[in-house]
Structure 1
């Protein structure tokens, strides 16, 4: 019997008081201080910020293991964060990424 791999997408809005407050409350990295805000936010996600600040949102695998942060896509107003057990193409029809949703709507 084939099991489904767990995948999770998170849209993290960039210019919100939540993301700015959480980023600046967390101890900032020395190397990130010279980066633009967008890149600081992405670097914080790669360095474990998601698990620390959004523990109730981050999903786990069927066996209770943490999902891997696989990809972060920068968009104009948000970060599209992909977590999964193993890399797999996300079906755009079920994505929460607005750019992906619009591309599927245009073809129907």
Structure 2
């Protein structure tokens, strides 16, 4: 039980990891032809979750797209070994209700600068 407790991190510590991982994650996501919308690294029910939200400017993200990005990120993150705790990697789209074609271009520019847009 001690190992499990020691491997847990606070949400503040996880947020720092997410900030430091952003360039690596963004590079992988962009290399695969997608845009990085958000990164969150949080602890829920004693489990750490690294959640990556992606989008594409021209079409809706599919489950297959999320799987491809997840597998590539998994390889990079495992090779670099930058996260000193156990976690679950989740790659997701913004949702079926969000149509990126209707999103103004200035929002994509803000996303690329690393700013979070909340409505």
TM value normalised by structure 1: 0.30
TM-score normalised by structure 2 residue count: 0.28
Q: Relative CO higher for 1 or 2, CA cutoff 8 Å, sep ≥ 6?
A: 1
